[in-house]
Amino acid sequence: MAENNCGNYINFLEMDKLYVIGNGFDKHHGMPCGYIDFKEWLRNNRQDVYDNLMRLYGDIDVDWWSKFEENLTNFDPNRYPNEVGRTPFFELQRRLETLYGEDGRAVIDEYEQINMGGVANRYRLAEVIAHFEMERLNNDLNDAFGEWVQTIKVPMDADRVENLDTEATFFTFNYTRTLEDLYGVDADNVLHLHGSVDNGRFVIGHGLSVEEMLERDTEENAYDRDPDADMGEDEARMELFQVIADQLKKPVEEIIELNKNHFNDLSTISEMEVLGFSYSSIDLPYLRRIFEIVGIDIHVIFGWHSPEDETNAKTFANEMGLTNCELMFF
- The confidence score (pLDDT) of residue 215 equals 80
Q: Please write the tens of the pLDDT for every residue from 256-272.
A: 999 999 999 999 999 99
- The confidence score (pLDDT) of residue 179 equals 98
- The confidence score (pLDDT) of residue 115 equals 52
- The confidence score (pLDDT) of residue 228 equals 45
Q: Taking residues 242-248, what's their average pLDDT?
A: 81
Whether residue 124 is contained in a domain is answered as yes
Q: Taking residues 297-316, what's their average pLDDT?
A: 96
Whether residue 185 is contained in a domain is answered as yes
Q: Please write the tens of the pLDDT for every residue from 25-80.
A: 999 999 999 999 999 999 999 999 999 999 888 878 999 999 999 999 887 777 77
Helix extents (H) in 7-101 = 23-28, 35-45, 47-57, 62-66, 68-71, 79-86, 89-100
Q: What is residue 29's DSSP assignment?
A: T
**Average pLDDT across the chain, whole number:** 86
Query: Containing domain of residue 236, as a range?
Result: 35-149+207-247
Whether residue 6 is contained in a domain is answered as no
- The confidence score (pLDDT) of residue 306 equals 94
- The confidence score (pLDDT) of residue 304 equals 96
Q: SS3 of 136, please?
A: helix
Q: Among residues 53, 39, 254, 13, which one has the least CA distance to residue 137?
A: 53
Helix extents (H) in 150-230 = 210-221
User: How are strands ordered across the β-sheet holding 271-275?
Assistant: 190-192, 169-172, 17-21, 271-275, 299-304, 325-329
- The confidence score (pLDDT) of residue 213 equals 80
Amino acid letter, 233: E
Give yes or no: residues 49 and 95 share one domain.
yes
Whether residue 304 is contained in a domain is answered as yes
Report the percent of the chain where pLDDT is more than 70.
86
Question: Is a pLDDT exceeding 80 seen at residue 118?
Answer: no
Whether residue 8 is contained in a domain is answered as no
Give yes or no: residues 79 and 185 share one domain.
no
Give yes or no: residues 262 and 319 share one domain.
yes
Question: Is a pLDDT exceeding 60 seen at residue 229?
Answer: no
Give yes or no: residues 66 and 136 share one domain.
yes
Q: Please write the tens of the pLDDT for every residue from 88-109.
A: 777 877 888 888 888 877 777 7
What's the CA gap between 263 and 272, in Å, rounded? 14
For residues 258 and 211, the answer to whether their CB atoms sit within 8 Å is no
Give the list of residues 6+ apart from residue 145 with CB closer than 8 angstroms, or none.
38, 202, 204
Give yes or no: residues 179 and 291 share one domain.
yes
Give yes or no: residues 164 and 125 share one domain.
no
Give yes or no: residues 164 and 289 share one domain.
yes
Give yes or no: residues 86 and 117 share one domain.
yes
Give yes or no: residues 23 and 59 share one domain.
no
Q: How many independent structural domains does the chain possess?
A: 2
Whether residue 7 is contained in a domain is answered as no
Q: Taking residues 291-308, what's their average pLDDT?
A: 96
Whether residue 70 is contained in a domain is answered as yes
- pTM recorded for the entire structure: 0.86
CATH number of the domain enclosing 315: 3.40.50
Give yes or no: residues 90 and 172 share one domain.
no
Give yes or no: residues 40 and 126 share one domain.
yes
Final residue belonging to a domain, choices 188, 215, 247: 247
Q: Please write the tens of the pLDDT for every residue from 152-184.
A: 999 999 999 999 999 999 999 999 999 999 999
- The confidence score (pLDDT) of residue 324 equals 97
Give yes or no: residues 214 and 321 share one domain.
no
Whether residue 2 is contained in a domain is answered as no
